[in-house]
Every structure is written in structure tokens, then in C-alpha cells.
Structure 1
């Protein structure tokens, strides 16, 4: 059992409070603070096959937090069906992880396999 207190999560919570004040005009992310990484604030963005909004929101936040484009990592999940972008930024003493999930290339069906 983890013995951390809420006070020990103050750094990412403070960063969240400042982000909510300074960047009210940006797209709302899914927010995660966890005792596993007590100095990290995670902002995630999700898109689906009809909506690339997760990637667009990620890009807006990346620019706002001044993360260089070459600091963004790309990964593939679910057999290529999901693309993932991730990057880290420092903000108000916290490590802010930006992550976006969106549609990747559609896996071929049995009829399309040569």
C-alpha cells in the first residue's frame, strides 16, 4: 500500500491549477495525477476514426507548453490501428506528459490480404 499523502501530490496539482488559469482557451484534456509518478501531470487527448481531434489538441498544447517538435515521440498500438504521440514538458515544477491517441492505418480484412 502506498503511503503518499495528497500533500505529496501538490506539485502536479499546482501545475494543473496554473494550467487551468493560464490556458483556459485550450481544448480540455483527460487529466491524470497518480501516486505512481507523484511529480507528473498527464494530459491526454483522444480521437477516433472520424475525428483527428486528439492529435490537433495535442499539437495546440505542445505549442502552448513550448515543446519542440523533435521532442515528440511516435508509437503504434493495437496492431497499427492506434497511433500515439507523446512528449514531456516542465511546468510549475511538474513533469507534464502530453499524450494523444488517434486512428492509425486500418488493418486489412481477410478479403484484402493478398
Structure 2
């Protein structure tokens, strides 16, 4: 297998660059670009599902296209969605704490 070059990450890097120019006012996500999935840009938002919703809306992802899961024995909500943007697959992930009885959400 031929090793990837930095240029092989072009689609994900281009998508990141365009998002930064187009939406500089949005909350900053944790950004991941990997040689494992060179055409994918992952944007993760921790402890802020409202920020996930802002990103979901600007990326044009329908609410019904969002996946839901839980981690940490049901203590963490995980929302996921993907969309094609500027030649890359953008994966949006949101993490939020599940309120327990007696706690505010």
C-alpha cells in the first residue's frame, strides 16, 4: 500500500477551510482529519448539544438524519450526523450529559 501524502487530505482540509471562512461565528468544534479516512472531516462538540444543533442547521442536515446513542452507562448522550460538503464527508458529533433525577438538564 502506498503511503498517503498531505495532498491526499485535500478534501477534508478544503472543507475545514471553507467552513472556517463561511461560519467563523459558530462554536469551535474539536476537529479531526485522519489518514484512516482521508476524505472525512470530523467536527465534535463536547458538553454542548446546542452547538451541535447550530452546526447541524448550517450544514443542512435534517433533524431526522441525526443518530442517537448513549455512552458511559447512559450518562452521556451522543448525537451523530454526516453530510457531503465541498468534496469531503463531514461527520458531526455532539456529546452531552444526560440529566439524572434531581438534576437540571
TM-score, length-normalised on structure 2?
Answer: 0.91
Distance, in Å, in 2 between the alignment partners of 1:21 and 1:105 is 35
Aligned residues: 101
Structure 2: stretches of 5+ with no match in the other structure:
none
- Aligned residues: CA RMSD: 1.6
State how far apart, in whole Å, the 2-side matches of 1:105 and 1:84 are.
14
Aligned mate of 2:90, from 96, 99, 113: 96
Report which stretch shifted further, 1-10 or 15-24.
1-10
- Contiguous gaps of at least 5 residues in structure 1: 48-53, 108-114
- Answering whether residue 57 of structure 2 is matched by residue 73 of structure 1, we say no
Helix, strand or coil: the match of 1:79?
coil
Query: Which is higher, the Rg of structure 1 or of structure 2?
Result: 1
Q: Which residue pairs with 2:49 in the alignment?
A: 55
Q: TM-score normalized by structure 1?
A: 0.84
Structure 1 CA distance, aligned partners of 2:55 and 2:36? 24
- Assess if the C-alpha contact under 8 Å between 1:31 and 1:44 holds in 2: yes
C-alpha displacement of 1:12: 0.3
Higher helix share: 1
Q: Which residue of 2 aligns with 1:24?
A: 24
